[in-house]
């Protein structure tokens, strides 16, 4: 699994050299719903997952700490 | 039970409303000050720069959460997990000059929990007929101790009754409020290719305090097609340990089952018969408390985002995390399979103790949950957003997680934002999650007393969960609705239903209203 993810990271780097999207071409990418993070309104559902599940983190936010949970 | 939850809910709502109004007023003032301050400074800037944040933004969030299940950790992996939680928070982002953004987030979260209430499921009834909720109250303990030492006249004698793990008790632990404040600042370079940020947080609840901080840096390059971020988060948390009531009483009585809380109270064996409390085979819990009240967290946050085309972008996240200190919860009971079981309450209910129809007998704890003093977590995740067309976006998320406690998990999340007209967006979503059990997990009454570590917390059990949700958002693009300088921007409502394959489900409704300060 780790190997696959490492390959994915390397692939992502490699793809970065394939194409450069210019600023004026980013109109679709700049749509707020395209953001690579949870919406603010999902804050509480993310928090309850960290309480009720044995794993947390890597969600583009904080992981662990701040409560007597996970 | 329902009545108790409703009363608690009403009090909590009033408390939350007061808090929200006060915080809202303070933060709007703060935001306006930030705006004015920014305007003055902007006049002196010679070189035109687009502001990182044009206007101050205020997000008000509220949520209602309700769960139910049959494997409560406070009662050793058996019993009602019924819990309701009301939470509210205000998040304000204020532009500071052209390059900076100050964010302030204040959250109040209040719960009512059947499981936590059974930290103390006992009620003391004096022989003169008065009921006395045993809320771990020092006065009660002193009176009991005094009664015992006075020779135990009939008037001093107390009889203890118990609730079962399946119903809520009226102890202090039945409800709690979590308060948290988070203040952050980020600063962008003139070319907007470097962003540094710092963050400070403080939180407190009934049995836990937390102090946190973080620093981070984001670098953009490749004409802002590639973004790398690196951050360090630390939390210095502290337990204010609360123990199961019977263990506290056993410690107070110094193991003498004929004195204090236990005086005049039958302790029952597995057949419901009173034991000889002066005999050699009696209930003997482990009374060792926690030897370290700190729980510290050190996390690295790394991410790489890459634009793959005009419609697609992807990011990889990796957050290795080390936790040190008392990582178990001292409220949570454990029952050993190789030790006899003992109870307080109605003898006739003992034989169906593990059935929800049991309302009046409670099994005495053998120990509290014990877990290693360190935990190393490795979550790694990939996110992708793809702009299908002007009406639809596809968002995918996958996370693989493993740690040195033996928990491995997979999380998949799919969301499909659908734009309906100019102002509405729908957010149907599905989340799949599975995890393996921590190597210290034991089901109810299956832990071994010879083990060093054990827990019956089903959040660390093996399970699969599915979550289905739908959100709707209304956006006023022109911010036509406004009051003075505060303009309404958007409102969104989300509902999610979460269900495990091990007798647990939850509902969560959340509301988000966004304003802009002009």
Q: What is the DSSP string of chain A?
A: -HHHHHHHHHHHHHHHTT----GGG-TTTTSGGG-SS--GGGHHHHHHHHHHSS----SSS--S-SSS--
d(CA B132, CA B44): 70
Domain chopping of chain A, boundaries? 1-53
pLDDT at residue B137 greater than cutoff 90: no
Cα A45 to the chain's mean position, in Å? 15
User: Which residue in B67, B473, B508 is closest to A44 by CB distance?
Assistant: B508
Report chain B's mean pLDDT, rounded to a whole number.
86
d(CA B213, CA B234): 5
Mean pLDDT of B459-469: 96
Mean pLDDT of B193-198: 96
Cα B203 to the chain's mean position, in Å? 12
Structure tokens of B102? 């100050």
CB contact under 8 A, A65 and B297: yes
Phi/psi of residue B4, each to 5°?
Answer: -60, -45
Distance from CA of B395 to the nearest CA of A (A): 8
Q: How many CA atoms lie within 13 A of B356 on its CB side?
A: 10
The Cα diameter of chain B in Å comes to 89
pLDDT tens for each residue of B345-357: 999 999 999 999 9
Burial zone of B282 (CB within 10 Å; 0-12 exposed, 13-18 middle, 19+ buried): middle
DSSP E strand stretches across B364-518: 367-368, 374-389, 392-403, 408-415, 418-420, 424-435, 463-475, 482-483, 486-500, 504-517
Question: Cβ(B104)–Cβ(B27) under 8 Å?
Answer: yes
Sign of CA dihedral B253, B256, B259, B261: positive
pLDDT tens for each residue of A3-15: 665 666 666 555 5
Question: Cβ(B239)–Cβ(B208) under 8 Å?
Answer: yes
pLDDT grade for B331, boundaries at 50, 70 and 90:
very high
* Contacts with B, A 9-38, CB within 8 Å: 9, 12-13, 15-16, 19-23, 25-26, 28-29, 31, 33-37
Burial zone of B209 (CB within 10 Å; 0-12 exposed, 13-18 middle, 19+ buried): middle
Q: What chain A residue is nearest to B433 in terms of C-alpha separation?
A: A53
pLDDT tens for each residue of B222-238: 999 999 999 999 999 99
Mean pLDDT of B311-330: 94
CB contact under 8 A, B307 and A53: no
Question: Cβ(B356)–Cβ(B281) under 8 Å?
Answer: no
ipTM for the complex shown: 0.83
For chains A and B, CB pairs below 8 A equal: 205
Structure pTM?
A: 0.84
CB contact under 8 A, B208 and A67: yes
What local confidence, expressed as pLDDT, does residue B22 receive?
A: 56
Question: Cβ(B76)–Cβ(B118) under 8 Å?
Answer: no
A3 Cβ under 8 Å from any chain B Cβ:
no
Residues in chain A with CB shorter than 8 Å from the CB of B503 are none
What local confidence, expressed as pLDDT, does residue A42 receive?
A: 84
Interface test with A, best of B58, B332, B379 (most A CBs within 10 A): B379
Q: Select from A57, A43, A51, A55 the least CA-distant residue to A69.
A: A51
What local confidence, expressed as pLDDT, does residue A3 receive?
A: 65
Residue A17, Cβ neighbours under 10 Å: how many? 10
């Amino acid at each position: 699994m780790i190997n696959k993810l490492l390959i994915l990271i390397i692939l992502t780097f490699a793809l970065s050299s394939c194409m450069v999207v210019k600023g004026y071409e980013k109109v679709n990418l700049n749509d707020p719903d395209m953001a690579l993070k949870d919406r603010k309104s999902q804050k509480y559902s993310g928090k309850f997952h960290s309480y009720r599940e044995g794993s947390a983190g890597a969600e583009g936010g904080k992981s662990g700490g701040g409560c007597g949970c996970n | 039970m329902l009545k108790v939850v409703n009363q608690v809910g009403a009090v909590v709502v009033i408390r939350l409303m007061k808090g929200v109004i006060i915080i809202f007023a303070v933060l709007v003032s703060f935001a306006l000050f930030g705006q004015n301050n920014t305007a003055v400074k902007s006049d002196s800037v010679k070189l035109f720069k687009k502001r990182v944040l044009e206007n101050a933004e205020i997000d008000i969030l509220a949520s209602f959460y309700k769960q139910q299940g049959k494997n409560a950790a406070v009662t050793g992996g058996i019993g009602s997990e019924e819990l309701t939680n009301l939470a509210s928070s205000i998040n304000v982002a204020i532009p500071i000059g052209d390059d900076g953004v100050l964010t302030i987030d204040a959250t109040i979260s209040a719960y009512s929990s059947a499981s936590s209430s059974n930290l103390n499921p006992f009620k003391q009834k004096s022989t003169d007929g008065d009921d006395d909720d045993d809320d771990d109250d020092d006065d009660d303990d002193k009176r009991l101790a005094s009664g015992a030492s006075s020779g135990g006249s009939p008037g001093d004698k107390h009889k203890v009754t118990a609730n079962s793990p399946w119903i809520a008790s009226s102890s202090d632990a039945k409800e709690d409020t979590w308060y948290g404040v988070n203040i952050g600042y980020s600063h962008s370079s003139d070319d907007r290719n470097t962003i540094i940020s710092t963050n400070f947080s403080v939180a407190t609840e009934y049995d836990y305090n937390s102090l946190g901080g973080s620093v981070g840096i984001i670098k953009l390059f490749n004409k802002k097609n590639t973004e790398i971020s690196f951050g360090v988060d630390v939390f210095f948390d502290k337990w204010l340990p609360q123990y199961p009531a019977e263990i506290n009483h056993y410690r107070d009585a110094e193991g003498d089952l004929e004195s204090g809380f236990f005086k005049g109270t039958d302790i029952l064996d597995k057949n419901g018969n009173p034991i000889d409390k002066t005999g050699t085979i009696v209930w003997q819990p482990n009374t060792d408390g926690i030897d370290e009240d700190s729980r510290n967290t050190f996390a690295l946050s790394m991410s790489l985002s890459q634009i793959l085309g005009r419609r697609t972008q992807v990011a990889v996240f990796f957050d290795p995390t080390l936790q040190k200190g008392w990582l178990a919860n001292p409220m949570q009971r454990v029952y050993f399979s190789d030790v006899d079981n003992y109870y307080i309450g109605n003898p006739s209910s003992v034989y169906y103790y593990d059935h929800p129809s049991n309302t009046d007998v409670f099994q005495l704890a053998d120990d509290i949950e014990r877990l290693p003093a360190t935990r190393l977590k490795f979550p790694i995740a990939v996110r992708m957003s793809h702009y299908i067309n002007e009406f639809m976006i596809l968002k995918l998320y996958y996370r693989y997680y493993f740690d040195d406690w033996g928990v491995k998990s997979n999380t998949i999340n799919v969301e499909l934002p659908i734009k309906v007209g100019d102002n509405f967006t729908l957010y149907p979503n599905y989340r799949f999650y599975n995890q393996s059990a921590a190597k210290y997990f034991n089901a109810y009454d299956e832990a071994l007393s010879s083990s060093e570590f054990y827990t019956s917390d089903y959040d660390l059990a093996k399970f699969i969960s599915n979550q289905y949700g739908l959100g709707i958002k209304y956006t006023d693009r022109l911010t036509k609705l406004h009051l003075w300088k505060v303009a309404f921007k958007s409102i969104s409502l989300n509902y999610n239903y979460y269900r495990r394959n091990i007798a647990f489900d939850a509902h969560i409704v959340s509301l988000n209203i966004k304003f802009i300060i002009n």
